[in-house]
Amino acid sequence: MRLNKWVVLAIRVIIGGIFIYDSIDKIIHPEAFARIVHNYRLFPPSLINIIAIVVPWIELISGALLIVGWRYKAANLIIGGMLTAFIIALSISYIRGININCGCFSTSASSKSDLLMRIFEDIMMVTGCIIIGIASKNPNEKKEKAP
């Protein structure tokens, strides 16, 4: 499968940009984000603040690296992994019927978000990560075959 490098770059910029955008509000308002983490009803009390402190920075740094291109394959892997975790957490909430404010684009307590829409968005982004992963692998393989 041949992929135009500009298309791949565009995907990297979009996903990286979304991750940076998402992370900033969470970094500025860690308390509000901690409440959202709590609302998922998935984590023990002792882990909630640690998750709220650490996760947004992983998002921010990985998102930035994905755009800049420095060690972006690893950043892509981390983002893909996080998205998979988000999809699992959101699906569990959906199945359990928990009404949470998904802390994806806003930490405002009043904003109720459609879980299904959020899951769909994350699946789209995971697909993007897979495309980036495949595209970044191909040139290396060619190099190895024909040194």
Partner 1 sequence: MATLLKDTILIIALSVIVAFLANALSPNGIGIKGVWYDNRHKVELAIPPSYDPKVDSLLTMEDAFSLWESKQAVFLDAREPDEYAEGHIPGAISFPFEEWEQYWDDIQKIITPEMKLVCYCGGLDCEASLDMARELKVLGYPNAYIFFGGVSKWLELKLPLEVSRETK
Position 35, amino acid:
R
- Which of positions 91-130 make contact with partner 1 (CB under 8 A)? none
Binder of partner 1 out of 24, 49, 101, 105 (CB under 8 A): 49
Binder of partner 1 out of 16, 56, 103, 128 (CB under 8 A): 56
Element (H, E) at 58: helix 45-68
- Which of positions 58-77 make contact with partner 1 (CB under 8 A)? 58, 60-62, 65, 71, 73-75, 77
Q: Does residue 34 touch partner 1 according to CB under 8 A?
A: yes
72-96 helix and 115-145 helix, angle to the nearest 10 degrees: 150
Binder of partner 1 out of 54, 88, 123, 124 (CB under 8 A): 54
Q: Does residue 15 touch partner 1 according to CB under 8 A?
A: no
Helix (H, G, I), strand (E, B) or coil at 102: coil
Q: Does residue 53 touch partner 1 according to CB under 8 A?
A: yes
CA distance 30 to 25: 8
**What DSSP assignment string belongs to 36-50?**
HHHHTT-S-HHHHHH
Q: Assess contact for 1 and 134: CB atoms under 8 A.
A: yes
Q: Does residue 13 touch partner 1 according to CB under 8 A?
A: no
Binding site for partner 1 (CB under 8 A): 27-31, 34-35, 38, 41-46, 48-50, 52-54, 56-58, 60-62, 65, 71, 73-75, 77-78
